[in-house]
């Protein structure tokens, strides 16, 4: 043991030589006041406002990431996720990052260099998949559509026959356009052509029917901060049998996942075992409070019931769309493919869309967003998601839009 040192009256406790304090700090303490964020109604493309019960559980006492109490919390979270996604996949977990991290986990674990990805690019996020997957050595084949469009099964089938992809990526709910891709036949098409089907359900999980097993989706990710009413910072990922087979085969060949943080072979030993009695193996420190939050958000969804949540999102959206029509505004996506959770509203001719966004934020503390990419300057993106999917919000936002348009001299 080391010698005792007298603590005495010195300003600094005795520092051994190797950790001697500096004579003076070179970087001064910044002046930072109390934090008091504005109270906004978040009706952009997400995050939405989290449920108050979700905020409340984040204040519960933390436990360690290897504590049985935490692992029980994680197991319950996983069951709730399976319900929300309607999948039996044992490998259904929270990823320690935001939705994009769960996405990259799917890509990193399911892409061998040289694999061919058929990417259904009908919005911003299709572009992102091309960028992300190419970093893992994927050869990208794009199936392009104007932003807001959706694909007929025959188009996907034909592209598969032509390109023989290893993986098909599709956005079930394109957050940049507000379009909902019909999923019913894509799983069978993927299977027929020997490809994995990977779906983005960031803006659909909890808000509209997502039936992963029925659809035959092999891998899927989402975010917690949209229809699930959780703050961003933790994100779900699920891998089905065919996806796991690919992952395991790569691992057995000694082909390491080109990403340590998101290597699901290692995370499997921490978060997924066949038997709850199996000892868990430390990989990284899980985000404890965010896991509490996400579990609570999913529990709230289960209490309401999936069908009721879907119906509520639908009813709010129908009401909102009617109100928009009455205000003389039009939606970008045709009715039959429109997402109830996220609506793209056409910016009328002659209106400064950015000014309207600012008007809503500054006058009414309402957040909505503009368009991305092809739709930049052409639409507003307005979300009614999770806790925020309520007729009162739809009414408020429509009337705030009217006020903003009047402010620009347009009285619809």
Restricting to residues 310-329, name those near a second copy by CB under 8 A: 310-311, 314-315, 318, 321-322, 324-325
For a second copy, the closer of residues 192 and 326 by Cβ is: 326
**Position among 8, 9, 28, 275 found at the interface with a second copy (CB under 8 A):** 28
Comparing CB distances to a second copy, the nearer of 213 and 403 is 213
**Using alpha carbons only, what angle is made at residue 75 by residues 73 and 77, rounded to the nearest 5 degrees?**
70
Which helix H or strand E contains 214, and what residues bound it? helix 212-215
Q: Which residues contact 71 (CB under 8 A, 6 or more apart)?
A: 276, 280
CB of 142 to a second copy, least distance (A): 17
Which residue of 80, 168, 171, 244 would you call a contact of a second copy, by CB under 8 A? 80
Is 278 among the residues that bind a second copy (CB under 8 A)?
no
**Residue whose CB is less far from a second copy, 14 or 164:** 14
Residues 67 and 80: their CA atoms lie apart, in Å, by 20
Structure tokens at 362: 């500054």
- What does residue 239 show for φ and ψ, rounded to 5 degrees? -125, 125
Per CB under 8 A, contacts with a second copy among 5-24 are: 5, 7, 11-22
Within positions 327 to 346, which residues make up the interface with a second copy, using CB under 8 A? Answer: 330-331, 334-338
Contact 118, 260 (CB under 8 A): no
How far is the C-alpha of 185 from the C-alpha of 333, rounded, in Å?
21
For residue 73, the SS3 value is helix
Cα distances (angstroms) measured from residue 168 to each of 31, 92, 144, 250: 51, 20, 13, 19
Q: Using the minimum distance from each CB to a second copy, give the nearer residue, 101 or 198.
A: 101
- The CA dihedral of 220, 225, 226, 227, to the nearest 10 degrees, is 80
Q: Tell me which residues in 236-265 interact with a second copy (CB under 8 A).
A: 256-262
Q: Is 395 helix (H, G, I), strand (E, B) or coil?
A: helix
User: Which DSSP state fits 284?
Assistant: S
Among 112, 265, 289, 408, binds a second copy (CB under 8 A): 289
Q: How far is the CB of 300 from a second copy (least distance, A)?
A: 11
Question: Binding residue for a second copy (CB under 8 A) from 139, 213, 374, 403?
Answer: 213
Q: Which tokens in the block code for residue 222?
A: 């989402």
Q: Annotated binding residue at 10? A: no
The yes or no reply on residue 269 touching a second copy (CB under 8 A) is no
Q: Figure out which of the listed residues 32, 274, 275, 409 binds a second copy, where binding follows CB under 8 A.
A: 32
| Minimum distance from residue 105 beta carbon to a second copy (Å) | 9
Q: What's the min distance (Å) between Cβ of 194 and a second copy?
A: 25
Closest CA to 139 of 115, 122, 161, 155: 115
> Residues 137 to 196: which contact a second copy by CB under 8 A?
150, 180, 182, 184
Task: Kindly write out the interface string for residues 361-400 of this chain, putting x where it contacts a second copy by CB under 8 A and - elsewhere.
Answer: x-----x-x--x----------------------------
Which of 271, 45, 76 shows the shortest CA–CA distance to 174?
45
CB of 245 to a second copy, least distance (A): 22
Binding mask 107-126 for a second copy (x = CB under 8 A): x-------------------
Handedness of CA 87, 93, 98, 101 (dihedral sign): negative
Residue closer to a second copy by CB (options 37, 409) is 37
What does the alpha-carbon distance between residue 275 and residue 5 come to, in Å, rounded to a whole number?
Answer: 50
Please, what is the Cα angle at 133 between 129 and 137, to 5 degrees?
A: 160
When binding is defined by CB under 8 A, the residue of 166, 174, 218, 296 that contacts a second copy is: 296
In the complex, least distance from residue 4 CB atom to a second copy, rounded to whole angstroms: 6
Q: How far apart are the first and last CA of the chain?
A: 81
Binding residues for substrate: 381
Binding residues: 381
């Amino acid at each position: 043991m080391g010698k005792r040192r007298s603590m005495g009256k010195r300003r600094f406790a005795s520092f051994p030589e190797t950790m001697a304090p500096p004579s003076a700090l070179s970087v001064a303490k910044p002046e930072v006041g109390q934090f008091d964020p504005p109270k906004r109604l978040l009706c952009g493309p997400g995050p939405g406002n989290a449920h108050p019960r979700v905020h409340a559980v984040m204040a519960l006492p933390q436990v360690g990431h290897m504590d049985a109490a935490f692992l029980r919390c994680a197991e319950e979270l996983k069951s709730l996720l399976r319900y929300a996604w309607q999948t039996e996949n044992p490998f259904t977990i929270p990823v320690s990052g935001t939705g994009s991290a769960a996405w990259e986990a799917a890509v990193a674990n399911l892409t061998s260099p040289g694999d061919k990805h058929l990417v259904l690019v009908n919005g911003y996020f299709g572009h992102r998949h091309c960028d992300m997957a190419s970093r893992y050595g994927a050869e990208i084949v794009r199936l392009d559509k104007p932003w807001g469009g959706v694909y007929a099964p025959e188009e996907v089938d034909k592209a598969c026959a032509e390109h023989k992809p290893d993986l098909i990526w599709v956005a079930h709910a394109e957050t940049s356009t507000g379009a909902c891709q019909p999923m019913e036949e894509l799983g069978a098409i993927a299977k027929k052509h020997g490809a994995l089907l990977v779906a983005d359900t960031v803006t659909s999980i909890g808000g509209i029917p997502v039936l992963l097993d029925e659809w035959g989706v092999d891998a899927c990710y989402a975010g917690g901060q949209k229809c699930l009413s959780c703050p961003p910072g933790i994100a779900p990922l699920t891998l089905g049998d065919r996806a796991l087979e690919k992952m395991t085969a790569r691992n057995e060949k000694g082909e390491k996942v080109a990403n340590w943080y998101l290597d699901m072979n290692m995370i499997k030993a921490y978060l997924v075992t066949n038997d709850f009695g199996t000892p868990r193996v430390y990989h990284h420190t899980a985000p404890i409070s965010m896991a509490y939050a996400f579990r609570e958000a999913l529990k709230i969804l289960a209490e309401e019931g999936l069908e009721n949540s879907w119906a509520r999102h639908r009813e709010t959206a129908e009401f909102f769309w009617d109100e928009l029509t009455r205000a003389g505004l039009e939606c970008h996506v045709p009715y039959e493919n429109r997402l109830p959770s996220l609506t793209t509203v056409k910016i009328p001719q002659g209106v400064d869309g950015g000014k309207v966004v600012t008007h809503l934020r500054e006058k009414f503390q309402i957040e909505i967003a503009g368009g991305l990419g092809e739709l930049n300057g052409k639409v507003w993106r307005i979300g009614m998601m999770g806790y925020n999917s309520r007729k009162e919000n739809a009414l408020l936002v429509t009337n705030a839009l009217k006020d903003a348009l009047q402010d620009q001299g347009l009285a619809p």
